[in-house]
Amino acid sequence: MADQDSRSGARYATPDIVAFVDGVHVRHDAGLARAFDAPAQHGMPAIQLAPAEGKTLTLLMRMIGACKVVEVGTLAGYSALRLAHGLSAGGHVWTIELDPRHAQVARDNLAAAGVADRVSVLVGPALEQLEQLTPHAPFDAVFIDADKGNYPLYARWAAAHLRTGGLLIGDNSYFFGQLLADTPDATHMREFHQLVAEAFDSTCIPTPDGLVVGIRR
């Protein structure tokens, strides 16, 4: 019955159910709460990961023993903090943010959470910053949550600089419900899916906007 309901498009994740399971499995400490609430408090777009998605990042980092992690798209630092919580001893996250004001909010949040020594916030166009990070390769994980039109370029960089068994994770992989639209950015997102499927053993987790996870072959 569950499989039939799934194929028919039934959805059971009501707001009350999500609130309950998040309260059980994904509780925020003070640092996480500060970073999660920061966009609303600083006039930033409220586009950070949902709590369960953030906790998923932490668990994935722990599963692979991640030491060197790259994030494309920092915003207020919530996902960087989630990644940092999953690092092995001595590990480091490099997170890239285009907007200097957002980057400073993120730095403040990461410092308040006590992980400033484990996270470097880099400011500037992501492709330029990724090239600067190349000497640190190979990486254990790359998390992409930034401008959708460049997802294929970020995926190619990740494929070239992740270790075998490393993870590529891409948020908003349903492209806000417009993945199959006839637009340039939708075309780029479909290309991203194809690139990941070719270079990685991958799937797309059906979060509200899709979370691609791939293991580097």
Q: Alpha helices of the chain — where are they, by DSSP H?
A: 2-7, 15-25, 30-41, 51-64, 78-85, 100-112, 126-133, 151-161, 184-199
CATH code, domain carrying 111: 3.40.50.150
Confidence (pTM): 0.94
Question: Count of domains in the chain?
Answer: 1
**pLDDT-derived band of residue 11, with 50, 70 and 90 as boundaries?**
confident
Instruction: Give the residue numbers spanning the domain of 186.
Output: 2-216
Is pLDDT of 5 > 70?
Answer: no
Per residue in 78-104, pLDDT (tens digit) is: 999 999 999 999 999 999 999 999 999
